[in-house]
Structure 1
């Protein structure tokens, strides 16, 4: 697999997002998750991404039980589960969450530690200062921010250099192209693209709307609600036809498009099963291929917002 830089580390250009191990998108079990992790490494993946909120520690526990210390590992903190959901970025809470994550991950150090969501009341310079202390103490190799604006990236990076910024980015979510990807490139920060396969919309076959109410958050996500859901399936159909005509897998072409948007971008698709990893084969996409993809899926084609109003709390808007 092609290699890309994530801070001082060279990692596989495609990472692995372990959110689904927490049961966020459907039932799974530890044995299946462990097979999936083994298959990912066999395929050249060397960067694994998780968070303390994924299954309330379940994803981290599974990765800890896996026991591989030869992979580049990232986890996150900052979201406080509850109704309504809250966010904390104070030093005491960050330290508490890190110690809990390290215990579940069976590690004394994690290569990358993210603030999952920013708490507006705390200056990001203070947060960067906390993370700098954790780097100096050897607890983390570097830090990142998630779902933030370019202005926040500049402020945090000036206080202590950022390793990575993680925001949603895919063929149907292109907001980061309006300044965030460029800011990361300018500052030498890796941009980690989560949900690069549109939460299943760019899977091998068209997604079937069979979400578990109250568990699978797509059940309340505007893009997955009717009439938007059917409209999005129809909008993506020409892309599927293009992939079939070219001999590409749909996930592979979608990942290839993300990778082509910048050599500092590392997408982190996720899956519950090892079998889906075979669909991530990335074709060589030339300028003509990328132009054809943009012709069938132009910027802004998606029907519905990527999050509902209740899910937008603590996500920084800048356009």
Structure 2
């Protein structure tokens, strides 16, 4: 299994992790047993990095991880990452962001309680709150390390300029961003900044929310997903176009005798030694395909052929809807 350092002087971990947003209901119904099966499969494969958030199912993902850890007899077999910073107005339900020290630490404490932990290995600010300068937020996160509540910290969906400002205050272990063959924005500065600073780029949705797989979402699966049903790449018309446009990758995978998801993972990990991938899935069979992708060593000519078949800009529709796009920092 390919391994890399997660952040400056960070631990050496397998380049593939588990995205635990799929332990909540974003992509369809989930069960505790099904999520535990994914964690068992990860342990069997030697995969240790598990990424969650306080808002995934409003604590459900963390509770599921906590119930699994409770069966481990005092052992913590995973490198756990969680996040805070997204909040809801209690009266209107409107989505907002809070990077205040009080909010971040209170939410971290709740996360630790849900998972039965004294410390998490990696704590992200899930979205930037522009009311708080990133330097001040970084200084506060460093105090959480000093308190022993977190081992390292990072930021999700920030611009390269923000990363450089934060890193000037304290080393930043990781930046989390969507990156795949269908979402290429990190190539325009973020990957380069991570490489220069020794920061890991943790790529979520590296299989394009299943578009880059042998079983792309059906209209029925999209309708059952809280997230996909409003996403511009999966609405009627765009979904059909994107399935057709990504078919050349499935054809190539068939020629190579591997799963399409395996090729998608292998391509992402080959783009930089700074990159980790955290795909989510509710299927142990699909998880095996993801593991196989992290074990591939694609030749340069295969990587070039993948790029020819899915060139930059092939995907129909924006990455996020107008509502989903509130929070991530634009930088290109």
Q: TM-score range by the shorter chain?
A: over 0.9
Could you say which residue in structure 2 is the equivalent of 1:6? 6
1:199 aligns with 2:209: yes
- Tell me, yes or no, if the aligned pair for 1:204 and 1:279 is still in contact at 8 Å: no
Could you say which residue in structure 2 is the equivalent of 1:19? 21
Cα distance between partner residues in 2 of 1:66 and 1:38: 9
1:52-105 CA-to-partner distances (Å, cap 9, x unmatched) read 000000000010111151211100000003532100000000010000000001
Cα distance between partner residues in 2 of 1:48 and 1:217: 21
Cα distance between partner residues in 2 of 1:318 and 1:134: 29
1:277 aligns with 2:290: no
- Tell me, yes or no, if the aligned pair for 2:222 and 2:234 is still in contact at 8 Å: no
1:114 aligns with 2:116: no
Q: How does 1:1-319 map to 2 (within 5 A)?
A: 1-7=1-7, 8-67=10-69, 68=72, 69-82=76-89, 83-211=93-221, 213=223, 216-280=226-290, 281-282=292-293, 283-319=296-332
| Equivalent pairs, count | 319
- Tell me, yes or no, if the aligned pair for 1:120 and 1:314 is still in contact at 8 Å: no
1:242-294 CA-to-partner distances (Å, cap 9, x unmatched) read 11011121010000000000011000001112221121212321110011001
Cα distance between partner residues in 2 of 1:279 and 1:11: 19
Cα distance between partner residues in 1 of 2:118 and 2:153: 16
1:296-315 CA-to-partner distances (Å, cap 9, x unmatched) read 10011110001011111111
- Tell me, yes or no, if the aligned pair for 1:53 and 1:81 is still in contact at 8 Å: no
TM-score, length-normalised on structure 2?
A: 0.94
TM-score, length-normalised on structure 1?
A: 0.97
Cα distance between partner residues in 2 of 1:136 and 1:72: 19
Q: Per the alignment, do residues 123 and 213 of structure 1 end up closer, same or farther by CA in structure 2, a change over 3 Å counting?
A: same
Quick check: 78-87 or 225-234, which moved more?
Answer: 78-87
Shift of 1:5: 1.0
- Equivalent residue of 2:246, what SS? helix
Shift of 1:213: 5.0
Report the RMSD for the aligned CA atoms in angstroms.
Answer: 1.2
Cα distance between partner residues in 1 of 2:225 and 2:266: 30
Cα distance between partner residues in 1 of 2:244 and 2:225: 26
- Tell me, yes or no, if the aligned pair for 2:214 and 2:250 is still in contact at 8 Å: no
Cα distance between partner residues in 2 of 1:212 and 1:295: 28
Cα distance between partner residues in 2 of 1:274 and 1:297: 27
Shift of 1:38: 0.5
- Equivalent residue of 1:310, what SS? coil
Shift of 1:212: 6.2
- Tell me, yes or no, if the aligned pair for 1:204 and 1:249 is still in contact at 8 Å: yes
- Tell me, yes or no, if the aligned pair for 2:158 and 2:329 is still in contact at 8 Å: yes
Cα distance between partner residues in 2 of 1:233 and 1:247: 20
- Equivalent residue of 1:4, what SS? strand
Cα distance between partner residues in 1 of 2:187 and 2:33: 38
- Structure 1 portions without partners, runs of 5+: none
